[in-house]
C-alpha cells in the first residue's frame, strides 16, 4: 500500500478543486488538514490549511495572519453554493476559485477587513478579475484598496491591485489579497 500522505507531493494542476475538497475534508479517511510536505500555500489556504513545521516554514504566514487578525474573520469557502453564497469570486471560478475571510470590525480603526485567497487549478497561466459585493462586506466600494502583501515563504513582493484589474495567476499558485479602506 502506498503512503497516502506522499500523494500531496505530486498534486499539480491536473487534480481538481473538488478532489482537494473531498480529500481535505474527508478525515477520518482523507488527508490530514495540514498538507505536510509538498505544501502548496495558496491551494491550502483555499481550505484554511497550512503546512506543518518543520516541512514548511510557517513563520511568515502566521505573522501575516496575526497582522490581519484572521482569528476574528469568518471564512466563506469557494464551495459555498447556498442562495446567499460568498461575497466574492473570480472571473473564472472553475479554474481559479476564491475563498474569502472577512470581519466587520477587525480592520484598522475598527473598520471592515477582508482577505481573499485565490489559487489556480489550471494547467496554463490565467488572468482573472475579482467580483466582490463590497456592501455585503461592509466596505464603501469607492474607498477600497486591494493589495497583495509580501508574505515570507508564501508570496512576494508586495503589490497594489487596482479594483477591476486582472491578476496573473500561474498554474498551482495564487495570491493572498487584502482589502482595506483607503
- Between β-strands 113-119 and 98-103, what pairing exists: parallel, antiparallel or unpaired? antiparallel
Asked whether residue 104 is assigned to any structural domain, the reply reads yes
Residue pair 118/132 in contact by the 8 Å Cβ criterion: no
Asked whether residue 101 is assigned to any structural domain, the reply reads yes
- Per 3-state DSSP, the chain is made up of helix, strand and coil in percentages (nearest 5) of 25, 25, 50
Asked whether residue 129 is assigned to any structural domain, the reply reads yes
Q: How confident is the model at residue 5 (pLDDT cuts 50, 70, 90)?
A: very low
Containing domain of residue 76, as a range?
67-181
pLDDT of residue 129: 96
Asked whether residue 72 is assigned to any structural domain, the reply reads yes
- Please give the mean pLDDT across all residues of the chain: 82
Q: How many domains does the chain have?
A: 1
SS3 string, the chain, reads: CCCHHHHHHHCCCCCCHHHHHHHHHCCCCCCCCCCCCCCCHHHHHHCCCCCCCCCCCCHHHHHHHHHHCHHHCEEECCCCCCCCCCCEEECCCCCCCEEEEEECCCCHHHCCEEEEEEECCCCCCEEECEEECHHHHCCCHHHEEEEECCECCCECCCEEECCCCCEEECCCCEEEEEEEEC
Q: Which three cell numbers stand for residue 182?
A: 483607503
- The per-residue pLDDT for range 126-178, each reduced to its tens digit, is 999 999 999 999 999 999 999 999 999 889 899 999 888 999 999 989 999 99
Q: Give the CATH number, domain containing residue 166.
A: 2.60.40.1180
The reported pTM is 0.82
Q: Report percent pLDDT > 70 for the chain.
A: 80
- The per-residue pLDDT for range 151-160, each reduced to its tens digit, is 998 898 999 9
Amino acid at each position: 500500500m502506498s503512503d497516502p500522505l506522499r500523494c500531496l507531493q505530486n498534486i499539480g494542476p491536473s487534480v481538481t478543486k473538488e478532489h482537494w475538497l473531498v480529500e481535505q475534508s474527508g478525515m477520518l479517511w482523507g488527508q490530514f488538514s495540514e498538507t505536510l510536505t509538498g505544501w502548496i500555500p495558496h491551494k491550502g489556504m483555499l481550505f484554511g490549511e497550512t503546512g506543518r513545521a518543520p516541512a514548511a516554514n510557517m513563520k511568515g504566514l502566521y505573522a501575516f495572519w496575526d497582522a490581519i487578525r484572521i482569528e476574528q474573520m469568518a471564512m466563506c469557502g469557494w464551495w459555498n453554493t447556498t442562495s446567499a453564497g460568498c461575497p466574492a469570486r473570480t472571473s473564472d471560478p472553475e479554474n481559479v476559485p476564491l475563498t474569502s475571510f472577512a470581519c466587520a470590525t477587525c480592520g484598522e480603526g475598527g473598520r471592515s477587513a477582508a482577505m481573499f485567497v485565490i489559487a489556480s487549478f489550471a494547467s496554463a497561466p490565467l488572468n482573472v478579475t475579482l467580483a466582490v459585493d463590497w456592501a455585503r462586506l461592509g466596505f464603501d466600494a469607492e474607498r477600497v484598496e486591494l493589495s497583495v502583501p509580501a508574505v515570507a515563504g508564501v508570496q512576494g513582493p508586495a503589490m497594489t491591485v487596482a479594483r477591476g484589474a486582472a491578476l496573473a495567476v500561474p498554474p498551482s499558485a495564487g495570491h493572498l489579497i487584502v482589502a482595506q479602506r483607503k
